[in-house]
Structure 1
Amino acid sequence: MTTLGAVFRPQLPPERLRPVVRAAEDAGLEELWLWEDCFLESGIAAASAALAWSERLRIGVGLLPVPLRNVALTAMEAATLYRLFPDRVTLAVGHGVQDWMAQVGRKAASPMTLLEEHLTALRALLRGERVTTEGRYVRLDDVALDWPPATRAPILAGARGPRTIDLAGSRADGTVLDCTAGPDEVRRARQRIDEARAEAGRTDDHRVVSYLLTATGPGSGERLAVELDHEGIASVPDVAVSGDAAAVARAVRRRADAGADTVVLQPTADEPDPEGFVRFAAEEVRPLLT
């Protein structure tokens, strides 16, 4: 059965997170996803608080931009979360927005090489391995975590282009597809992921997470149109949905049928009622998917 989640947009101030977490927990939402967007909010700090404020709700961070992060620090933070809150954490890493990376002096000449090196070292560290590597970007000398995760700690990769999708399939434990990927793109990505996994000899599970830009309630159509224009995808069909729970559930099913294991409803940046949005997802949309 498809897992349903929602996004807490970092355009909201950090102090809004707790009431949204409590609303999601009380409504029975399966997952709440957070973003580490420049220069808004920290993904790890927000995830730690959200996990502490809840008991059942699973928290995803999609994604952590690797140019900003030493891989040992990413591994330490990830391992801490996976040990404190086993089976309730999903972390994804990715290229980050290149303009933002340039603003902080961290734009890589080869984002693909950086992501591949980071993913490889990160997953090895989280498996409890001692790592020495001298890559173009990632350099570790006899590094091992003192407190690696006690259980499997999956690391997903955010991907949009075909080369990154192939990398996610071969090196990551799952793939996060952003809101620009409609059902056809999800289907093509799933096929590429499966082919890359087969070529790499991987037979473990690989989770595909698909963001679905969603608006509901009064003025939803207008708010969605503004968001689509901002994202530059106003002319792309079937990448967003506005309307009632039945309309949203149909859009979720289309992504699930295309190969998404998890569909995460992404509200507009100006969503007027974020607590109501997570309740809508859990109480109105989720029952229509069973």
Structure 2
Amino acid sequence: MSRWGITLPLTGVPLAAHRDLVKELPDLGYTDVWSAETAGTDAFTPLVLAAEWAPELRLGTAIVPVYTRGPGLLAMSAATMAELAPGRFALGIGTSSPTIVEGWNGIDFDQPFHRMRDTLRFLRSALAGDKVTEKYGTFEITKFRLERPPAQPPEIMLAALRPGMLRLAAREADGAITNWLSAGDVPTVRAEVGPDLELVARIFVCPTEDAAAARALGRLLISSYLTVPAYAAFHDWLGRGDELKPMHDAWAAGDRAGANAAIPDSVVDDLIVHGSVDHCRERVQSYVDAGLTTPAIAVLPTGADPIETVRALAPRP
């Protein structure tokens, strides 16, 4: 069986209320728990809890922004997780977006490709226990050394949407993490990283047979994300530029409702997995069949108990 991951915490479920579910996950067939970091929980705290509740699980951040923590603090957080979950932690880093970096954190979103490359190279040295004094292109480090370097440094994965970052991941990282793609897009992404690199993708799953409700929620999410320049360029590269142009035009004109209405059903159905639980599970498997190494399922709210939904979406032998 391939890897089968779930994104935690679940919407509307308090962190402490995840304990029984997390303990169950390995027996259900899940191999991974992945966290995210936007404006909810930070990426590390849910994984600290999961490390204690289910020591069998592999844990990963998908992703931590490279701007919102200084390089040294990011190395400290990663080393702490690697100590708690030796050999079971993957540090996923990404540039995030101008909204999160500049708008919410007051930090310049400058030279994202180079900042990612420089942070990756710094983390390689720091997490190996080296004393780092280095002028990188986007920051300078003087005499930094971890007091508690991990006995086993974590894997480092890069969030990557287009060829340049995907190729950087293939050259220098342990894996690539992507987002907002269809199963049919996986071969295009896989071709940039080669056959052997681990490829992780967050897959948005809305287990309901009310297609209209799933599409309505999907349109809200798609217009929020795919209007971000990096995601817009990603989908241009994937070949959806013409399909999404009416959405972009309406969004640029300040017409949010018009932007949502302009998204074709076919695009929503490609990017949002919806339908019965069995159908959703089969759709997730289709990503794996197309070349994805690790699906990181993100359960969208449907009104059903999200904990029971995670149990129902578990892989079948």
Secondary structure of the 1:43 match is: coil
2:178 counterpart letter in structure 1: L
- The residue that corresponds to 2:217 in the other structure is 227
1:130 counterpart letter in structure 2: K
- The residue that corresponds to 1:171 in the other structure is 172
Structure 1 residue 11 displacement after superposition? 4.2
Q: Aligned partners of 2:59 and 2:309: how far apart in 1?
A: 16
RMSD, aligned α-carbons? 2.4
Aligned CA distance change for structure 1 residues 98 and 269 (closer, same or farther; 3 Å): farther
Q: Which ranges in structure 1 are unaligned for 5 or more consecutive residues?
A: 196-204
Q: Give the one of 268, 271, 274 matched to 1:239.
A: 271
**Normalized against structure 2, the TM-score is what?**
0.78
Q: Aligned partners of 1:148 and 1:98: how far apart in 2?
A: 32
Aligned CA distance change for structure 1 residues 75 and 251 (closer, same or farther; 3 Å): same
Q: Aligned partners of 2:303 and 2:35: how far apart in 1?
A: 15
- The residue that corresponds to 2:199 in the other structure is 208
- The residue that corresponds to 1:111 in the other structure is 112
Aligned CA distance change for structure 1 residues 3 and 78 (closer, same or farther; 3 Å): same
Q: Aligned partners of 1:25 and 1:2: how far apart in 2?
A: 13
Q: Which string of whole-angstrom CA distances, capped at 9 and with x for unpartnered residues, describes residues 96-139 of structure 1?
A: 12111112211322111111111111122122333221123332
8 Å Cα contact 1:8/1:274 also seen in 2: no
Q: Which string of whole-angstrom CA distances, capped at 9 and with x for unpartnered residues, describes residues 29-88 of structure 1?
A: 222221111x21111122112212223232222100111011111111111211221133
Aligned CA distance change for structure 1 residues 222 and 52 (closer, same or farther; 3 Å): farther
Structure 1 residue 244 displacement after superposition? 3.0
Structure 1 residue 216 displacement after superposition? 1.8
> 1:178-217 residue pairs with structure 2 within 5 A?
178=179, 180-194=180-194, 206-217=197-208
Q: Which string of whole-angstrom CA distances, capped at 9 and with x for unpartnered residues, describes residues 223-272 of structure 1?
A: 42133202227532522222234322332232113221111221115563
- The residue that corresponds to 2:58 in the other structure is 58
Structure 1 residue 93 displacement after superposition? 0.5
- The residue that corresponds to 1:137 in the other structure is 138
1:70 counterpart letter in structure 2: G
Secondary structure of the 1:140 match is: strand
- The residue that corresponds to 2:158 in the other structure is 157
Larger Rg: 2
Aligned CA distance change for structure 1 residues 223 and 162 (closer, same or farther; 3 Å): farther
Q: Give the one of 264, 273, 285 matched to 1:253.
A: 285
8 Å Cα contact 1:22/1:54 also seen in 2: yes
- The residue that corresponds to 1:5 in the other structure is 5
> 1:259-278 residue pairs with structure 2 within 5 A?
259-269=291-301, 272-278=304-310
8 Å Cα contact 1:66/1:115 also seen in 2: yes
Structure 1 residue 25 displacement after superposition? 4.8
Q: Which ranges in structure 2 are unaligned for 5 or more consecutive residues?
A: 224-262
Determine what percentage of the aligned residue pairs are the same residue: 25
8 Å Cα contact 1:32/1:57 also seen in 2: yes
Structure 1 residue 10 displacement after superposition? 6.2
- The residue that corresponds to 1:281 in the other structure is 313
1:268 counterpart letter in structure 2: L
Q: Which string of whole-angstrom CA distances, capped at 9 and with x for unpartnered residues, describes residues 147-182 of structure 1?
A: 22222420111112332222222222111111x111
Q: Aligned partners of 1:10 and 1:107: how far apart in 2?
A: 30
1:30 counterpart letter in structure 2: T
8 Å Cα contact 2:55/2:85 also seen in 1: no
8 Å Cα contact 1:125/1:145 also seen in 2: yes
Q: Aligned partners of 2:182 and 2:158: how far apart in 1?
A: 18
Is residue 46 of structure 1 aligned with residue 46 of structure 2?
yes
**Normalized against structure 1, the TM-score is what?**
0.84
Q: Aligned partners of 2:128 and 2:120: how far apart in 1?
A: 12
Aligned CA distance change for structure 1 residues 224 and 23 (closer, same or farther; 3 Å): farther
Which deviates the most, 255-264 or 111-120? 255-264
